[in-house]
């Protein structure tokens, strides 16, 4: 049994490293089933050690289809009647449901460029920390997969502790073609069966920025002299260490010194960008 668990864990690492979504999901559930010695379709509260055997028996017999979020919202008396037991047993089931580690996942979308989308995910624990159930930390897998559910676009592993209120993750996704219709956010506990979900993220209303215009190439033009400032005191200030502008300065000079247009100058170190910035400042002061 121990060797089987190790083999499944090794296969899970391979699946995650190769971004195989379906395989990873299956192997996570299979590894937990082997470690917990229960079937993945068994009721999740079978894993909680605080419930008595007769309570679990009645729960499986009379409320096997009732999900954990529903049990959390029910009153102990309702749960007791549903499983044909008294209110104290219903309270024990409710407490067990509330202590099963689960999370709430919310998201926000932010287009960064025409082909890059940032997905910010906020993870909030939705369970009461019980030392008899949880250890020092609860590990969870979080990933984003494409609409077919075959490939994982990006994935993370997070640890929730007793003091954790929320965790924020940033996923930056690039798309070579148009955006898909939707993405899926998958969360899965690394220790508990039934503690995970898939959340659909529609992308129909997301508007990506337009494609940026191509970069301007450096033109083969004569270099300007410092006299292009057309201001004797200003020329005298720069004369001595700037007598002739280089190619980049010559090409960008007119726009920066004579207009108020927005300009992005991307150039190597020591290519004269500081001088160009000063020209933009002088334009404002002189005007």
* Ranges of each domain in the chain: 2-99, 103-202, 226-286
Residue 32 pLDDT:
92
Residue 24 is given by DSSP the state H
Residue 264 pLDDT:
86
The secondary structure element, H or E, covering residue 6 is: helix 2-17
Do residues 4 and 13 touch, judged by C-beta distance below 8 A? Answer: no
Which tens digits make up the pLDDT trace of 170-196? 999 998 888 888 999 999 999 999 898
Do residues 185 and 198 touch, judged by C-beta distance below 8 A? Answer: yes
**What is the Cα gyration radius of the chain?**
31
- 39 Ramachandran zone, left/alpha/beta (phi>0; psi -120 to 50): beta
Residue 145 pLDDT:
95
Query: What Å distances lie between residue 182 and 72, 179, 226, CA to CA?
Result: 30, 8, 56
Q: Strands (DSSP E) along the chain, which ranges?
A: 103-113, 116-125, 138-145, 152-160, 167-174, 182-189, 196-202
Residue 1 pLDDT:
55
Specify the CATH number for 103-202; select among 1.10.3720.10, 2.40.30.110, 3.20.20.70, 2.60.40.150.
2.60.40.150
Task: Please report which residue ranges of the chain form alpha helices under DSSP H.
Answer: 2-17, 21-36, 53-63, 68-73, 76-82, 87-99, 232-238, 247-258, 273-286
The CA-to-CA distance between both ends of the chain, in Å, stands at 81
Residue 228 is given by DSSP the state G
Distance CA 150, CA 87 (A): 46
Residue 2 pLDDT:
63
- Nearest Cα to Cα of residue 124 among 81, 84, 168: 168
Q: At what angle do helices 247-258 and 273-286 cross, to 10 degrees?
A: 20
Ranges under pLDDT 50 in the chain: none
Residue 147 pLDDT:
85
- Nearest Cα to Cα of residue 139 among 164, 173, 106: 164
Which tens digits make up the pLDDT trace of 96-125? 999 999 999 999 999 998 889 999 999 999
């Amino acid at each position: 049994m121990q060797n089987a668990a190790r083999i499944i864990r090794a296969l899970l690492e391979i699946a995650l490293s190769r971004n195989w979504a379906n395989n990873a999901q299956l192997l996570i559930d299979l590894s937990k089933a082997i470690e917990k010695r229960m079937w993945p379709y068994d009721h999740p509260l079978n894993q909680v050690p605080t419930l008595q055997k007769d309570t679990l028996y009645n729960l499986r017999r009379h409320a096997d289809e009732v999900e954990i979020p529903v049990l959390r919202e029910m009153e102990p008396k309702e749960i007791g009647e549903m499983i044909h037991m008294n209110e104290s047993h219903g309270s024990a089931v409710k407490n067990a449901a509330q202590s099963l580690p689960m999370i709430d996942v919310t998201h926000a979308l932010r287009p960064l460029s025409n082909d890059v989308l940032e997905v910010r995910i906020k993870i909030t624990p939705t369970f009461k920390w019980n030392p008899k159930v949880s250890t020092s930390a609860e590990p969870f897998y979080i990933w984003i997969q494409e609409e077919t559910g075959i490939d994982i676009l990006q994935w993370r592993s997070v640890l929730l502790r007793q003091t954790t209120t929320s965790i924020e993750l940033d996923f930056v996704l690039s798309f070579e073609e148009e955006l898909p219709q939707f993405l899926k956010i998958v969360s899965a506990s690394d220790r508990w069966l039934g503690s995970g979900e898939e959340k659909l993220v529609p992308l129909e209303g997301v508007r990506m920025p337009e494609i940026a215009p191509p970069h301007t190439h450096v033109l083969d033009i004569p270099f300007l002299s410092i006299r292009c400032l057309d201001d004797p005191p200003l020329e005298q200030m720069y004369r001595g260490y700037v007598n002739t502008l280089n190619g980049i300065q010559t090409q960008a000079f007119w726009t920066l010194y004579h207009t108020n247009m927005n300009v992005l100058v991307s150039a190597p170190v020591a290519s004269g960008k500081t001088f160009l910035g000063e020209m933009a400042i002088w334009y404002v002061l002189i005007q």
